[in-house]
Amino acid sequence: NSKVIQTPRYLVKGQGQKAKMRCIPEKGHPVVFWYQQNKNNEFKFLINFQNQEVLQQIDMTEKRFSAECPSNSPCSLEIQSSEAGDSALYLCASSRQYSGNTLYFGEGSRLIVV
């Protein structure tokens, strides 16, 4: 069973609505990644954190997506204005270290934008 906890498992949003997903990383894992998996099994890196600090993020994340990992609270990924193309499985993963270390994934949050 995954020790990375993601909520909600499913969310359905209309176009233009906000969509927010949360992730509790495995205990002792300061590094958190967010990935988007589409229906064709293509994985897109969105953003990663070490503790509360953003390490890397892609342009898409910078514009419509926002994410944070506050101390003592779950990490979150929010889409400010959902688009049909955002329908996907959003996976959170955590790791002990940033470089070259195993990532452990949560069950994912499946977003459907109607």
Partner 1 sequence: AQSVTQPDARVTVSEGASLQLRCKYSYSGTPYLFWYVQYPRQGLQLLLKYYSGDPVVQGVNGFEAEFSKSNSSFHLRKASVHWSDSAVYFCVFITGNTGKLIFGLGTTLQVQP
Q: Does 91 bind partner 1 (CB under 8 A)?
A: yes
Least Å distance, CB 75 to partner 1, is 15
**How many positions of this chain bind partner 1 (CB under 8 A)?**
30
Cβ closer to partner 1: 31 or 113? 31
Beta-carbon contacts of 75 under 8 Å, excluding residues fewer than 6 positions away, are: 22, 23, 24, 25, 32, 49, 67, 68, 69, 92
Q: Are 98 and 32 in contact (CB under 8 A)?
A: no
Least Å distance, CB 47 to partner 1, is 11
CA-to-CA distance for 60 and 82, rounded, in angstroms?
A: 12
Query: Exactly one of 45, 70, 80, 83 binds partner 1 (CB under 8 A); which one?
Result: 45
Question: Using CB under 8 A, which of the segments 61-69, 70-78, 79-87, 89-97 binds partner 1?
Answer: 89-97
Cβ closer to partner 1: 57 or 76? 57
Q: Does 52 bind partner 1 (CB under 8 A)?
A: no
CA-to-CA distance for 78 and 68, rounded, in angstroms?
A: 9
CA-to-CA distance for 82 and 41, rounded, in angstroms?
A: 20
